[in-house]
Amino acid sequence: MYIPTALELLSAFGTEPELLDTVTESLPFEYNQATYRFSNEREGFCVIIFPASDQFQLTVTDLVNQEVVILFDLQRVDKLEILADNKERMALLLTLIHDDIMQTLHLEFKPRFKSFFKENLNH
């Protein structure tokens, strides 16, 4: 999976990741599992990225009733891009390519969560 650098992800999510392997200090970021927990005014987010195995998971929780409202558990992400990273807006684009099909998942985290899924023939 192509991903932004650990520093770019830190800036976008606004929080340090919880790393699965904290024992091996020399383990490159790409071979570790990173969990980012953050929120906007309405929703809480838990993003888990494991670049070496192309995995991306997002759980969105309503902050009022603590109910999980969205769960994306993706096993073959080819690319993760940061589309916006500022106080007013934070957005990611995930790209998944399978044979002749390209799927994109656009995720908006600020000011309010939104997701847009598209599937196209990849010629």
Please provide residue 31's backbone torsions phi and psi, each rounded to the nearest 5 degrees: -105, 10
Cα–Cα distance measured from residue 4 to residue 79, given in angstroms and rounded to the nearest whole number: 9
Cα–Cα distance measured from residue 98 to residue 79, given in angstroms and rounded to the nearest whole number: 12
Predicted local confidence at residue 24, as pLDDT: 60
Cα–Cα distance measured from residue 121 to residue 75, given in angstroms and rounded to the nearest whole number: 20
Question: What single DSSP character describes residue 122?
Answer: -
The pLDDT tens digits for 42-85 are 999 999 999 889 999 999 999 999 999 999 999 999 999 999 99
Q: Domain-by-domain residue ranges, the chain?
A: 6-21+29-121
